[in-house]
Chains A and B, each alone.
Chain A
Amino acid sequence: MKRPSGSISHLATPVRAWAHRFAFLLLVASAFGLMLLGKMDSLLVERARTAVTDAAAPLLDAASRPSDAINGMIESLGEMADLRAANSLLRRENDRLRSWQALALELEAENTALRKLTHAVQDSSLRFVSARVIGDPGGAFARSVLVNAGAREGVVKGQAAITSDGLAGRVAEAGMRAARVLLITDINSRIPVLVGKGRDRAILAGDNSAQPKLLYLAPGIEVKPGDRVITSGRGGAFPRGLPVGVVSQAGEGALRIQPFVDWSHLEYLRLAEFEFSGVFQAPATMNANASTEANTAKKSQGAER
């Protein structure tokens, strides 16, 4: 007995193949569309990205804890082996730092006195949010990490992310409970810095390698390996004077710096909330700067953004 469905399936197969091909083309077209959309409307993409990182944050937060614990254990085992040597080293360093501390206190007092004398504008204070690194996308294309603090904790786009060693990056996107920090080694990272004792201005540009480049240094300025690089705070997006690294390669080729941050031990980051930023300066901020009431300024700034 011949079933009538035979003729239908005979007809349906090419239709299904056609639909299949059409769906594939549609998906390819949407992928291209997304690429274009990302170029045109970066805000929309940023929102989508923060939504996904926010959704993944609790999972990553939980999953990154065991790996942290294991690493901590391995490290402490290693430290146990040379406890005695480390102890004597630390004692000596402590002595040395004590004399530095005395000098620093003296200089600070002198600095305050001189500032008072010249009626210099006070530097605004910093407020820190500490966050744990819960994600590291890795790969050859970008250098960024995810941290478990977001808008809820007062994290906003543009804040500096530092470790105890120095500057690690800046907040590129802030979701509700997670944020993405673009590291200074990323190919898209550009940070205004000051180089050496002469405090010459330059831009620190990442290129995904471990040692970012120094660009736009005025001609004729001599830079030698070992010169310290600090943030300049120009443009107001960043606090001034955060340690970044030392010049590791100078001469004919590209100027490169070795960042102070230890990338393989990036476990916690402090996100610095700057209470006085030049680019988005609100009138209230300037008034608040004269008085010490910076809190109100922060609030008005937050509302403005």
Chain B
Amino acid sequence: MNLTVWTRLDVVARNLFPFAFTLLLVMGAVIPLRVPDLSPIIPSLGLISIFYWAIYRPGLMPGWAVFLLGLVQDLLSGGPIGIHALVYLLLAAAVGSQRRVLAAGSFTFVWSLFLPAAAVAFFLIWLLYSLNIMAMIDPRSVVFQYLTTVAVYPCLAWLFAQAQRILLR
């Protein structure tokens, strides 16, 4: 074992990638794109990222990181806090319990399981949000956001797979 300081730093930096990149996605989702009608149905990239890393590198996406990412999303969105933190935690825990099956499965298999997982997550966010503000949020717009999130999943998962291959080996 002759790990120098630099190699150790390199390992730490590489291991930070899932968390740091998810944080960038969560913050990047706030950048205004000014594409007409896109804003209300913007896909939830944080959800995809947490789902992916909870399957393939759960050690690099621990509970506190998931909690923190959800909290940042809550604070940036301007809505009630704690909702995304809770739903992301539950998602990561649910994925973690089925990790062996998911990690061994094909891409389409994982994607097909992302559909119900994201549906439950969006439903929970919708429910908690509506309860919190004591008014019902139009479920149609939530469904649209769910659909765009599901549609974006393959692109992001491919990107993560490349990053995982190059950075995390």
Give Cα A134 to B135, complex, Å: 28
Question: Interface size of B by Cβ–Cβ distance < 8 Å?
Answer: 52
Known contacts A38-B80, A52-B72, A137-B77; is A64 also within 8 Å of B138 by CB?
no
List the B side residues contacting A33 at CB < 8 Å: 82
List the B side residues contacting A94 at CB < 8 Å: none
Interface string of B86-115 (1 = CB under 8 A from A): 100110010000000000000000000000
Asked if B32 and A208 sit within 8 Å, CB to CB, the answer is no
List the A side residues contacting B67 at CB < 8 Å: 27, 30-31
Interface string of A196-235 (1 = CB under 8 A from B): 0000000000011100000000000000000000000000
Give Cα A118 to B80, complex, Å: 49
Question: Interface size of A by Cβ–Cβ distance < 8 Å?
Answer: 54
Asked if A35 and B128 sit within 8 Å, CB to CB, the answer is yes
Asked if A140 and B34 sit within 8 Å, CB to CB, the answer is no
Interface assignment of A53: CB less than 8 Å from any CB of chain B: yes
Measured between C-beta atoms, what is the minimum distance from A144 to chain B in Å? 5
Q: How many A-B Cβ pairs are below 8 Å?
A: 153
Asked if A141 and B35 sit within 8 Å, CB to CB, the answer is no
B-contacting residues, A1-53, CB 8 Å = 23-24, 27-28, 30-35, 37-39, 45, 48-49, 52-53
Asked if A27 and B89 sit within 8 Å, CB to CB, the answer is yes
Asked if A135 and B77 sit within 8 Å, CB to CB, the answer is no
Asked if B76 and A188 sit within 8 Å, CB to CB, the answer is no
Known contacts A24-B93, A28-B90, A67-B31; is A138 also within 8 Å of B78 by CB?
no
Please report whether the interface of chain B is mostly helix, strand, loop or mixed according to DSSP.
Answer: helix
Asked if A140 and B32 sit within 8 Å, CB to CB, the answer is no
Give Cα A60 to B76, complex, Å: 11
List the A side residues contacting B80 at CB < 8 Å: 35, 38-39
Asked if B30 and A135 sit within 8 Å, CB to CB, the answer is yes
List the B side residues contacting A23 at CB < 8 Å: 63-64
Interface assignment of A293: CB less than 8 Å from any CB of chain B: no
A-B contact pairs, 28 of them (CB 8 A): A23-B64, A28-B89, A28-B90, A31-B70, A32-B86, A34-B74, A35-B82, A39-B80, A49-B78, A56-B30, A60-B30, A68-B34, A135-B76, A136-B30, A138-B38, A138-B39, A138-B40, A138-B41, A138-B42, A140-B142, A145-B32, A146-B30, A187-B133, A207-B135, A207-B138, A208-B141, A209-B138, A264-B34
